[in-house]
Structure 1
Amino acid sequence: MTAVRDRDPGLQPERTRLAWRRTTLSATVVALLAGRQALHSGAAPAALVAVALTAVAWLGFLAVGHRRVQRLGVARPDAMAPRGALTAALCTVAFAVFAVAMLF
């Protein structure tokens, strides 16, 4: 049998780190647009609750993204933990739900 050679990740961790930064920036834009929409819609109580929940979801996504970017700084990063992936997915779905709540 041949020995398994170590994998050379090349620039893959750097590309993944940049993707996480772009995605975190997109989440920031979503949170800012939610605040802007709430201010322009007369700041109804439901809209303010949706903005507050959007801010909480943004903070959660920011924490997951920051943690992932930090862990990708090594040559052989560990795989993303299922808990982090679930948190990022839930925050993304929450953004959509809160946006719909703000519209109605």
Structure 2
Amino acid sequence: MPPPTAPGGAGAGAQRDPGLQPERTRMAWRRTTLSCAVAGVLAVRQALRSGPDPLAVLAVALIALAFLAFLGAANRRIQSLDAPRPPALSPRAAAAAAGCTIALAALGVAVLR
């Protein structure tokens, strides 16, 4: 009986062709980063409209910190997608990205109150 073949007829030892998957993932990370930047700018704008409130200044600083952390995580992931066979996203990186996103959402809500 012949050895099993991978989809598309390639042999079992053949390298998987990721196709456009890494490029789509890279673009998704960039879109998410842009969305976070827009949300952060709108939150800063809202905080500045209310005047020089110390709580608003603290929220703006925390928004900037959360955005920079997310930007760093996204940048590392985008760079790792340049490999011929990109590694899976680590649980730590996924938790960091999710935590930054939740923090941005929570701080945005805090600025609106």
- Alignment TM class, shorter chain as reference: over 0.9
* CA displacement at 1:41 relative to structure 2: 1.2
1:16 matched to 2:25: yes
Matches within 5 A, 1:24-103: 24-103=33-112
1:2 matched to 2:4: yes
Contact 1:13 1:75 in 2 (8 A): no
* CA displacement at 1:75 relative to structure 2: 2.0
Q: TM-score, normalised by structure 1?
A: 0.92
Q: For structure 2, list consecutive stretches of 5 or more residues without a partner in the other structure.
A: 6-11
Segments of 4+ moved more than 4 angstroms: none
Contact 2:40 2:108 in 1 (8 A): no
Q: For structure 1, list consecutive stretches of 5 or more residues without a partner in the other structure.
A: none
Q: TM-score, normalised by structure 2?
A: 0.85
CA distance in structure 2 between the aligned counterparts of 1:102 and 1:35, rounded to whole angstroms: 8
Contact 1:50 1:102 in 2 (8 A): yes
* Other structure's SS at 1:6 match: coil
Q: Percent identity?
A: 56
* Other structure's SS at 1:42 match: coil
